[in-house]
Structure 1
Amino acid sequence: MQVLKFGGTSVASAKNITLVKDIIVQKKDAGSLIAVVSALGGITTQLVNASLLASSGDEGYLKLLNQVEQKHIKTVQELISVKAQSKTLGKVKILLNDLEDICRGVFLIQELTAKTSDKILSFGEKLSSTIIADFLNDSGINSSLAQPQEFIITDNNYGRANVDFGVTVPKISAYFGEQLPVYICPGFIASSKDNQWTTLGRGGSDYTAAILASALNAAELEIWTDVSGMMTADPRLVRSAYAINEISYEEAMELSHFGAKVIYPPTIQPALEKSIPIRIKNTFSKEDAGTLISANASANGQLIKGLSSIQNIALLNVSGSGMVGIPNFSHRLFRALSNAKVNVVLITQASSEHTICVGIDASDISKALTAIESEFAFELSARKINPVEVEKELAIIALVGANMKEQVGVSGNMFSVLGQNGVNIKAIAQGSSERNISVVVHEKEVKKALNSLHESFFLSDKRVINVFMIGVGNVGSALIEQLRKQKSYLSTHHHIDLRVVALANSRKMYFQERGMDLKEWKNKLEHESEPMSSELFLQKMAELNLRNSIFIDNTANADIASVYNGVLKESISVVTPNKIACTNSYEEYLNLKKTALKYKAKFLFETNVGAGLPVINTLNDLIKSGDEIIKIQAVLSGSLNFIFNNFNENTRFADIVRQAQEEGYTEPDPRIDLSGVDVKRKILILIRESGLNMEIDDIPSRAFIPKECMNAPTIEEFFKKLEEHEDTFQKMIADAKKAGKKIKYVATFNKGKAETGVQLIESSHPLYNLEGKDNIVLFTTKRYPEQPLVVKGAGAGAEVTASGIFADIMRIANAN
């Protein structure tokens, strides 16, 4: 005897039921079969709602019953030939009339008992099985409608009745002794010993099928649903989830208990006792292999078989000194909850015995508190225990796999992955079987937690990095183009899926959760965006709550820099060429570092100094390895270096500055570069990264541009003033040439003091031959006391700055 079960989605419509018929036709050639069917999709929920409305005296139940009627009549009309329809419609009408009579009685007395509720809910399966059996017969398939209330016998625990297997098994054997080709059996329904209708609980159709398979010693139990097996995670939350090929009974029970809806938890037990394999199949893709649940499931070397979650959880924390050393305290607590019919889904207790924490369904909070407060009234009044603490809006995430047993590092990896993504763990539970590690997290963190863990344990060869970028000017545009060109290479050679999720300029912002097409970003930002608001941008970034997120600030905006602390608190890493944040007060700078450390985020700003040059990383490596900075000498302005390298006695200073402006080496207002403020910020960052406390006002700067020029009201006026002071600049060139030296704008740190300004550099010095827009930094340290460590190269330009930002992104991507 073959046993197949078809769930609500498989019989949700006439079209779907036709697919079920095709499967039955294919299977019946291998011998007799029983097809256990659920109610049509959504009907059970409508019956629950109708009964509740009726019990409250709300005539709205009639509208719901009418919808139920119309759906079944429509299904009959679409499935069964006109010639045979009247007979089936007559059966359906009788059932619907009985249903309406019962609901009418509930409405009149405004009372809904568990017994009456079971009777109402059973109509869903009675109706669907009647229609499907008649449809098969009308299609030429000899089938019989089984009556489970005649052979599945239970107690009177209405709503979730307990099966009496001693009576049930022989009844099943006798009932199906004739071995007809096809039986259609309504799931979920049973009867008590005194012939009252009972049900096996929501999801009980799976259980019905397992009971039949066990009693009839079926070779295999097939459960047909709308997915191709048990998945590694909920595909609605984790898009990369995939079907598990094989899984053990124990692993399947763990996953189903913790929210995997493909199979009802009690289903597995009858099959397990008889070692009957269970195969999960997809009605809508019947060629897919599905998942095989058996005692001999192959692990294929996998430590973890799946991730699961339960939402709408509350934690109750019972604590107090009066609990310590009291032998029956736990017994009293769980007895009180059991008597109140509160199901405990997670338990954790400290070895100090000072606290017990239990996880329950949030809907049971009120009755759980009442039960505990009643049981421990004396202890509460005597302050031997504290008032019960309640935490709501939580979820349980479970990591399941039989091969976790005695495997070192699984829990450590789990906690590390969650911590790196800013997921706070409220409670932890792991049984001695070591098949399950469960953690309680906030509901809003579930999606990120599941995706992070799934990526780590199942898709470790491909890491998703989500990028949020403000600033798409020269540097931003260059960075986007570099990301676009490297995307395929990173995926193939570094197994990194780098996604740009959001882009913004000063006017508009555009979000695309799954990552945008970087060929179309300009068009999307221009035409499919929304008005830019830094507050809204940050809010949306936090609400998306994506794993491995990086915020990139390509601006020089102080307002954007001011939000870094809040971004880091969301465990989102920050990468920026914006020097403002690192050159505000030392206290603010240090706070950003501490926040990043606390919330497991990265704060990287390599491009603050030297664009794409590895200046800060080199300095950090020196400090981390125990070296000590004695002196720093540096040319840190590519624009000023360009200007002084191209200015001579045959050129005008104003013309060279204008050329630097036109070629993009300076800011639109060149005075920003010529003032030396940018260089002061850069040397300050190096000093702070060396471990020293210094403020920007502690660094004197020797001005070389006359004040009259710097105070000009407009940029054009500024250039005119430069022309008027050409003699001043020509004298600088003449003095340098006479001394056989070159003019460089140098930042120096030595013996705890720093300064910036124009210096005349002799030919033997490393700074002398610095060409074009290059930067150079000389680190004199305890390990490099005579010959300084030199970092030299292009220090300005959109492309090199973008490459430096890209390098910081890759440091974060490869950090774990």
Structure 2
Amino acid sequence: MNVLKFGGSSVANAANIKKVIDIIDQQSRDQKVYVVVSAFGGVTDLLLKAGEKAAKGQESYKEIINEIEDRHISAIKDLIPIAVQSPVISKIKAEINTLESLCEGIFLLNELSPKTSAVLASFGEILSSYILYHAAKAKDVTIQLNDSRDFIIRNNNSQVGINYIETNKRFSAYDTTTSGDVHLFPGFIAKSENGDPTTLGRGGSDYTAAIIAAALEAEELQIWTDVSGMYTANPKLVKQAKPVDHMSYHEAMELSHFGAKVIYPPTIHPVLDKNIPIHIKNTFEPEAKGTLITRSVDNQLKPVTGISHIDDISILSLEGSGMVGIPGFSKRLFEALYLEGINVILITQASSEHSICLAIAAEVAAKAKKVLDATFEFEIDKHKIEPVKIENDVVIVALVGDNMYHHQGISGKMFSTLGKNNVNIRAIAQGASEKNISVVIAKKDIKKALNTLHERFFEVKTRQLNLFITGVGNVGGKLIDQLQQQRKYLKDNLRLKIRVTGLSNSKTMIFNESGIDLTQWQVLLAQGQQSDPSQFFEKAKELNLRNSIFVDNTANEAIANVYKNYLQESIAVVTCNKIACADAYANYNELKDLSRKYNASFLFETNVGAGLPIIDTLNNLVASGDKVHKIQAVLSGSLNFVFNNYKKGERFYDIVKQAQQEGYTEPDPRIDLSGVDVARKILILARESGYILELNDIENDSFLPKECLETDSVDDFFKSLQGFEDHFSTLLEEADAKNSKLKYVAQFENGKAKVGLQFIPKEHPFYNLEGSDNIVLFFTERYPIQPLQVKGAGAGAEVTASGIFADIIRLGKN
């Protein structure tokens, strides 16, 4: 014999009730079935709302009653043949009339007592069970309707206690004297020992079913709802959440106490003693496996069973030296709350006894503060303790699992995972059994926290990164192409899922929390809202997504100025924009400090060598204890391209124009040819080597005539190049005469740096540097004579995009 309970969503309308009847009919063919049914979805709330309005003298309670009536009459007309509808409708209308009379009394008295409220709330289950009974009979199901108030007896002196001796006696007597395949009971409702109508509390239909299952020692208690079991996390907030096939009673209790709405917490206790399995099933997918809850689960490999949370929490903090070593202090605190009926959800106390932190329902926080301030009025007046402090807008997140104590470091993984995503923990509670680790965090972080923890404990094979990309020109466009092209490879081989959730150019910006469709990004971006760097940041902050990365593909100073905002929100920054790292040393150092403080990576590999691992190599040298004494480098792929292709018979103007068109230079080639870009690069390398240097400390021996440097526009600059062809050809002739090549070289030595055009002889490592390649020579304590070389392509949109991509992947592996 099984006990089946159907929740409000399962009987919300006629279509759903037909599914319920099919399930009942199927199961009753092989065995006796006891069925418990909730009120139609949302009806209990409507009943209580009608009572509240009536108590306040608001006649709009009548509109609510009419709505309730319409829903039930409509269901009857859809479920029951016309020939037998009349008596069913008459019965429902009679119950509605009684309901209306009850509300009218409340309206006249302007009073809603607990006893009246219980009677009011009971109408939902009475109506739904009556309709289900007749609908099942119309389908030829052998069914018997009973009133749960004749069976379930509550103790007079307890808010939730059941008189199990009397209740079990009544069910046992009923079971031996009745026949029939299906026995239907309205959930939620009961009667006190004095015979007064009462209820089992919100969610009490589950409790009704558990009481029946325990009394009759059923083979299984089935809870039919609108989801396929208890999930690893709330599927409304965590899309990757999945049903748990099997869990223990204790795990189910922990999860239900901490916000899992699938099962009402007291439900588990009656069946636990009788070792009756609970099966959570989906009314709308009856073939789904669901969740089976039993005494024990043989799975030592799964440390965490689920992640749950409680919303609408407030923290109360009591602090002061007057608490230290004072016996009975905690007793007074909890007794004061108990006498006011205030439930404490979480407790944490420092070992110094200097402070106690409590988590309670937000709706009673003000009341609790008033009570505690009054209780400790003397101590507060004598300044031995501080008045109670309230912190609102917080939630509790809990990791639950019977096997957590078998696995070391679960707490550490939880805290580090939250910390990396800038989720601040306000309080921590953990029992010695380690079956529940609870933390209090800000309400605004709940979605990010749940997704981050779920990814850490249930999706270890795949990590999701959320990119906010600004700049979609040459480099940005290539990066998007690469992201799209490598999507499958990253998921299959590196277990990375990278999605672009924000995209911006100089005109417009778009956002999509689920990921922007990269096959249509140009069209979507063209339709976006007006772009603004500050608003782009605010939106990224508002979305508050886990593993967020800001990617800057521009050379824009305004965008570089907002890096610190991202880092302060623990959003990593990946950039090819050199302005921030080549800014004043104080600003550069601040970004590095913020990166460390907020555990947000700040990666700028492409600042120096596009896709070459120059900064990474340098960082590894320094981190391993080596010291850099000298750096020689050709750091401009664009200038190397220009001078490698500038030969006798060619015009310097044409070569520079070609470099710009092929994407080797900045949009404004003056940045490259003036040497400013190279100066910034050697500055960054010097700083990463541990030296304090400013951009104006770098000697820049420019080969460009002054007139070219001082032009007002890019067009004017190109015109000026044509006018100084003799100057450039003279440099080329001099290099040929010296059997050398022209290379724009950056050098750092003894704390000083300089950049300029040099004549490189054949025996030098720079001589054979082809195309747009870069080369860096690091002379260090470990490499004093034969320097460490890094050489390769150092310019071009494709290469730079790949360098940015590499930084993003590096973050995904951390």
Could you tell me how far 1:662 is from its partner in structure 2?
A: 2.8
Partner residue of 1:563?
Answer: 562
Partner residue of 1:463?
Answer: 463
Structure 1 residues 193-342: aligned runs within 5 Å: 193-299=193-299, 301-342=301-342
Whole-angstrom CA distance in 2 between matches of 1:615 and 1:512? 34
Say if 1:780 and 1:787, in contact at 8 Å, map to a contact too.
yes
Amino acid at match of 1:81: P
Could you tell me how far 1:117 is from its partner in structure 2?
A: 0.5
Matched, 1:658 2:633: no
Whole-angstrom CA distance in 1 between matches of 2:70 and 2:649? 94
Secondary structure, counterpart of 1:359 in structure 2: strand
Structure 1 residues 773-788: aligned runs within 5 Å: 773-788=772-787
Secondary structure, counterpart of 1:757 in structure 2: strand
Partner residue of 2:401?
Answer: 401
* Deviations, residues 112-137 of structure 1 (Å, cap 9, x unaligned): 11111001000010110111111112
Whole-angstrom CA distance in 1 between matches of 2:298 and 2:806? 42
Whole-angstrom CA distance in 2 between matches of 1:700 and 1:709? 19
Partner residue of 2:520?
Answer: 520
Amino acid at match of 2:557: A
Give the TM-score of the pair, scaled to structure 2.
0.98
Where structure 1 has 5 or more consecutive residues not aligned to the other structure, the ranges are none
Q: RMSD of the alignment, in Å?
A: 1.2
Could you tell me how far 1:361 is from its partner in structure 2?
A: 0.5
Partner residue of 2:804?
Answer: 805
Could you tell me how far 1:520 is from its partner in structure 2?
A: 1.7
Could you tell me how far 1:157 is from its partner in structure 2?
A: 6.5
Partner residue of 1:64?
Answer: 64
Structure 1 residues 724-803: aligned runs within 5 Å: 724-803=723-802
Say if 1:6 and 1:38, in contact at 8 Å, map to a contact too.
yes
* Deviations, residues 229-259 of structure 1 (Å, cap 9, x unaligned): 1111000000011111110000000000000
Whole-angstrom CA distance in 2 between matches of 1:308 and 1:301? 20
Whole-angstrom CA distance in 1 between matches of 2:657 and 2:589? 38
Where structure 2 has 5 or more consecutive residues not aligned to the other structure, the ranges are none
Partner residue of 2:80?
Answer: 80
Could you tell me how far 1:714 is from its partner in structure 2?
A: 4.1
Partner residue of 2:530?
Answer: 531
Partner residue of 1:694?
Answer: 693
Matched, 1:606 2:626: no
Partner residue of 2:614?
Answer: 615
Say if 2:664 and 2:797, in contact at 8 Å, map to a contact too.
no
* Deviations, residues 599-622 of structure 1 (Å, cap 9, x unaligned): 111100000001000000000000
Amino acid at match of 1:387: P
Partner residue of 1:187?
Answer: 187
Could you tell me how far 1:418 is from its partner in structure 2?
A: 0.6
Amino acid at match of 1:730: S
Matched, 1:55 2:55: yes
Amino acid at match of 2:271: A
Amino acid at match of 1:329: F
Amino acid at match of 1:284: F
Say if 1:654 and 1:719, in contact at 8 Å, map to a contact too.
yes
Give the TM-score of the pair, scaled to structure 1.
0.98
* Deviations, residues 336-368 of structure 1 (Å, cap 9, x unaligned): 111111111100001101111010000011221
Say if 1:246 and 1:299, in contact at 8 Å, map to a contact too.
no
Say if 2:662 and 2:796, in contact at 8 Å, map to a contact too.
no
Secondary structure, counterpart of 1:466 in structure 2: strand
Whole-angstrom CA distance in 2 between matches of 1:619 and 1:236? 46
Structure 1 residues 283 and 638: alpha-carbon distance in aligned structure 2, compared to 1, 3 A threshold: same
Could you tell me how far 1:180 is from its partner in structure 2?
A: 2.6
Whole-angstrom CA distance in 2 between matches of 1:669 and 1:315? 56
Amino acid at match of 1:8: G
Could you tell me how far 1:402 is from its partner in structure 2?
A: 0.3
Could you tell me how far 1:722 is from its partner in structure 2?
A: 2.6
Say if 2:425 and 2:441, in contact at 8 Å, map to a contact too.
yes
Say if 2:393 and 2:443, in contact at 8 Å, map to a contact too.
yes
Could you tell me how far 1:156 is from its partner in structure 2?
A: 4.1
Could you tell me how far 1:656 is from its partner in structure 2?
A: 2.1
Whole-angstrom CA distance in 1 between matches of 2:668 and 2:31? 86
Say if 2:474 and 2:663, in contact at 8 Å, map to a contact too.
no
Structure 1 residues 364-379: aligned runs within 5 Å: 364-379=364-379
Secondary structure, counterpart of 2:280 in structure 1: strand
Whole-angstrom CA distance in 2 between matches of 1:734 and 1:143? 106
Partner residue of 1:343?
Answer: 343
Whole-angstrom CA distance in 1 between matches of 2:430 and 2:710? 70
* Deviations, residues 549-585 of structure 1 (Å, cap 9, x unaligned): 1110101111111111011111111100000111111
Say if 1:247 and 1:298, in contact at 8 Å, map to a contact too.
no
Whole-angstrom CA distance in 1 between matches of 2:396 and 2:610? 45
Partner residue of 2:644?
Answer: 645
Secondary structure, counterpart of 2:331 in structure 1: helix
Secondary structure, counterpart of 2:580 in structure 1: helix
Say if 1:247 and 1:299, in contact at 8 Å, map to a contact too.
no
Partner residue of 2:441?
Answer: 441
Amino acid at match of 1:219: E
Partner residue of 2:111?
Answer: 111
Structure 1 residues 713 and 367: alpha-carbon distance in aligned structure 2, compared to 1, 3 A threshold: closer
Partner residue of 2:31?
Answer: 31
Secondary structure, counterpart of 1:630 in structure 2: strand
Amino acid at match of 1:533: D
Whole-angstrom CA distance in 2 between matches of 1:468 and 1:232? 28
* Deviations, residues 752-800 of structure 1 (Å, cap 9, x unaligned): 1001111111211111111111111110000000001111111100000
Secondary structure, counterpart of 2:395 in structure 1: strand
* Deviations, residues 202-236 of structure 1 (Å, cap 9, x unaligned): 00000000000000010110110001111110000
Partner residue of 1:705?
Answer: 704
Could you tell me how far 1:414 is from its partner in structure 2?
A: 0.6
Partner residue of 2:504?
Answer: 504
Structure 1 residues 14 and 139: alpha-carbon distance in aligned structure 2, compared to 1, 3 A threshold: same
